[in-house]
Chains A and B, each alone.
Chain A
Amino acid sequence: MLVEELLAAVGWTQQASLTDAASLPVCLLCVSVGGHTTEIMRLMESLSAAYTPRHYVIADTDKMSEDKIVAFEKDRSPFTINRIPRSREVHQSWSSSVVSTLNALRYSLPLLFRLRPDMVLCNGPGTCVPLCIAGLLLGILGMKKVHIVYVESICRVQTLSLTGRILYLLSDYFFVQWCSLRDKYPKAIFLGRLV
């Protein structure tokens, strides 16, 4: 009884599986400034209208991505824009990165619990790590299976980014765009250059 009340208090409900014909895949997309945004927009252009609604997540310090997203999704699909604190600045030290990632997790968990996406799609900014961890937690707690989909940037030919190395272990589908990486990371999916 108490357990059920507690679960109801945090909004736990049974979710239909994705293969249920009535449900459409709800997407959570993580975007960041510059090249990452351009790449993820190109991927989004190819996804059918069935992937809806789209919930974009950007770092709170990112000003440019919001305009790009609004311009892209206008007349296309219902979408929302959500902000979380940035997990890590470029060249930030290890120890302070752990602290800032944990801070971002504090925002990511309630966001994922509320949105219950079928899929989290991301391509490299550190912002995506706490989102993917939160997605995995939803699955572990039996609340919702969230498919973690990661596409490594076209810039990565021989080595994975730091985010890539982390998400190689955590993701359900891990895409690389050069065969040299597929050779080094056997779990990776290589379909040629995607963007």
Chain B
Amino acid sequence: MKTVFVTVGTTRFDELIESVTSSEVAQVLKARGYERLVLQVGNGSFVPDAASCAYLSVQAYRFKESIAEDMKQADLVISHAGAGSCLEALGAGRPLLVVVNDKLMDNHQLELARQLHMDHHLLYCTCSTLTETLKNMDLSVLQPFPPGRPEHFANFLDKALGVK
């Protein structure tokens, strides 16, 4: 079953959860071949139940020890702009759509999401443009996100400190 995984990390983002379970968005997802919606709602004010969406099968929870499994099984990840969530989705090689919470005060976390979008690693929208973005999105333009290279750091330090 083609699955969409929605995550808000350790924050709350009620507007996203409401939008993504709305019939408008659900119909678009269904039309694009998605059948299952898994929602990690964090500290949100409500946890949608299985009946909350007529078009898709819904599963929702607040937190898990690790969301790695849900990430791995997702065909599409919809996430808030948190760095941890973005990096985890990209690290799992999943197509990623970041929804920016424009109600939050200017948040330095947006710097990373913006840069990753400019580098074509993820798609980017707000709750109000979510439906349109999902309708028109082309996931094939997304570039794979290569892992960081901590060994460059280690080699530099070894030379600088004279470590054999």
A151-173 Cβ-contact flags toward B at 8 Å (1 or 0): 10111111101000000000001
CA distance A133 to B147 in the complex (A): 33
A interface residues, tally (CB under 8 Å): 38
Main secondary structure of the interface of B (DSSP, over half): helix
Interface membership of A16, Cβ < 8 A: no
Tell yes or no: B64 within 8 A of A by CB.
no
| A157, B84: Cβ atoms closer than 8 Å | no
- Contact at A155–B161, with CB atoms within 8 Å? no
Q: Which of B22-30, B38-46, B104-112, B131-139 contacts A (4 or more CB under 8 A)?
A: B104-112
Q: Which residue of B84, B108, B149 contacts A191 across the interface (Cβ within 8 Å)?
A: B149
The residue on B at minimum CB distance from A191 is: B152
Set of chain A residues within 8 Å of B160, measured between Cβ atoms: 147, 173
Asked if A81 is at the interface (CB within 8 A of a chain B CB), the reply is no
B-contacting residues, A25-60, CB 8 Å: 25, 34-35, 38, 42-43, 45-48, 50-51
Interface residues on B, range: 20 to 34
Which of B10, B115, B148 has a CB less than 8 Å from the CB of A194? B148
26 A-B residue pairings within 8 Å (CB atoms) = A18-B162, A21-B164, A34-B84, A35-B83, A42-B148, A42-B150, A45-B150, A46-B150, A50-B163, A51-B163, A118-B161, A149-B157, A153-B83, A154-B148, A155-B108, A155-B112, A156-B111, A157-B112, A161-B108, A173-B160, A178-B115, A191-B149, A192-B148, A192-B149, A192-B152, A193-B148
The 9 closest A-B pairs by CB, nearest first: A46-B150, A46-B154, A157-B111, A191-B152, A193-B148, A195-B148, A155-B83, A19-B162, A157-B115
